[in-house]
Amino acid sequence: MSTPIDLTALKNRQMASWASGDYAVIGTTLQIVGEQLAEACDLLCDERVLDVAAGNGNATLAAARRGCHVTSTDYVAALLESGEDRARAERLEVTFQVADAEALPFEDAGFDAVLSTFGVMFTPDQPKAATELARVCRPGGRIGLANWTPEGFVGQMFKTLGSHLPPPPGAQPPSNWGTEAWLHTQFDERDFLLQVTRKTFNFRYRSAAHFINTFRTWYGPVHKAFAALPPEGAKALESDMTELINRMNRAGERSLVVPSEYLEVVITRR
């Protein structure tokens, strides 16, 4: 009989991972995803919007730029500080609040739209997080998500990381959120209507070495993986990542452009 996974320990490990490095260096390059998600959700001026696992605030800023009343949340305070700096620079009024995506401190049906770009998908207790998203969304409101697919580049990168540093037994892959079937199991019975669009984000760097150096310095999960491995293990991980990146690079020898598939999801509460 398998031992139940300690979700609290896993969450604490994840928090330490995301607090390492500086996600904002990577996150700001993904801003276009937040803008496109805001449009897909057809956000209206003065709507109440919650950004869950907001990171450095891409969806937060996109919603605030559209005149929404935004509450931006994450369980890592340092990430919210980056979002706060960005909002202040644009003179946008946003409420920032430390909050766990699996236990949102808000009333039922309190928001017109609930957003998350590459954030809530990393929660340890995935069904609980889905339940919380559904709970705080009002009838007629919508949940907007951007989730990496398992087949896409980021999904494959995390698979590569896992081959060198296996996750705890029983841990669910974040890429579950990037599969339509799994999303339907979480939301269909809650009387939500799903609209799913497959989209691509292009990572643009100088070379595979440039990408890896940037991510191992600033992107928490990659930073932690390299730090946890002995020198020969880190070298092997670098080699495998280089092979993956070069195989998916569509720019040839001139530069690095790596397409990464994600699901743009709009879930409307009936």
Handedness of CA 116, 122, 123, 129 (dihedral sign): positive
Report residue 34 CA to chain centroid gap: 11
The predicted pLDDT at position 3 comes to 61
The predicted pLDDT at position 216 comes to 97
Q: Which residues of the chain have pLDDT under 50?
A: 1
Q: Which residue carries 């996600």 as its tokens? A: 23
The predicted pLDDT at position 228 comes to 95
CA-to-CA dists, residue 116 to 33, 113, 147, 174, 199, angstroms: 10, 10, 9, 13, 16
The predicted pLDDT at position 1 comes to 47
Query: Does domain 7-150+167-202+261-269 match CATH 3.40.50.150?
Result: yes
Phi, psi of 59 (to 5 degrees): -70, -35
Instruction: Summarize pLDDT for 188-227 with one digit per residue, the tens.
Output: 988 899 999 999 999 999 999 999 999 999 999 999 999 9
The predicted pLDDT at position 169 comes to 83
Please tell me the pTM assigned to this model.
0.95
The predicted pLDDT at position 75 comes to 95
Instruction: Summarize pLDDT for 177-187 with one digit per residue, the tens.
Output: 999 999 999 99
The predicted pLDDT at position 21 comes to 84
Q: Residue 66: what residue type?
A: R
Q: Where are the domains of the chain?
A: 7-150+167-202+261-269
The predicted pLDDT at position 2 comes to 53
